[in-house]
Amino acid sequence: MITKQQKFRLGVFLVVAIVLLTSIFAVFIIPKLKSRGDIYYIDFKGVSVNGVNKGAAVKYQGVNIGKVMDLEVNAQDLNSIVITVKIRTGFPVKKDMGATLTYAGITGLKFIEISGGSLKSDTVKPGGWILASKGLGEKAEDIVFNIDSVVAAINDLLNRENRERLTNI
């Protein structure tokens, strides 16, 4: 038979256990409820998104405005990666804004930097697409390609036949 003292101890144990479980549950659930925002999509074509992970920051001119929610290969275009981002509610995403992949430091991790935009431009509705633009890495690849082209043209100009022609002149 259970005594009154045992019933009291059991009651105290249950109350403490419920309070602890509720507190732990609240610690994990409340931040999820507070992270309100609107979903947008960015389509990076022909660009490696290596270094961008779920939860990576989305920034506007260095200010954190959201985070990456998902990354997936576009089923209609295998040369395209679609990144789903959540941007805080109230931030005006404009049609003339561009998203670039930017290094977060020397670790190789990247975040998405949104830049540009004017007040006169139309606003992109939640669920819409943000234009992807070239980041520093892609611009550097273009510069290297152009330098390679110039060096090849100079080599063609200075080949043996042309040097002999110049000597004869």
User: Residues 93-124: pLDDT tens digits?
Assistant: 999 999 998 888 788 788 999 988 888 989 89
What is the model's pLDDT at position 165? 77
pLDDT at 149: 75
Task: Give pLDDT, residue 65.
Answer: 93
Which residue positions in the chain have pLDDT lower than 50?
none
pLDDT the model gives residue 136: 56
pLDDT confidence of residue 148: 74
Tell me what pLDDT residue 135 has.
58
Asked if residues 44 and 38 have their Cβ atoms less than 8 Å apart, the reply is no
pLDDT the model gives residue 90: 87
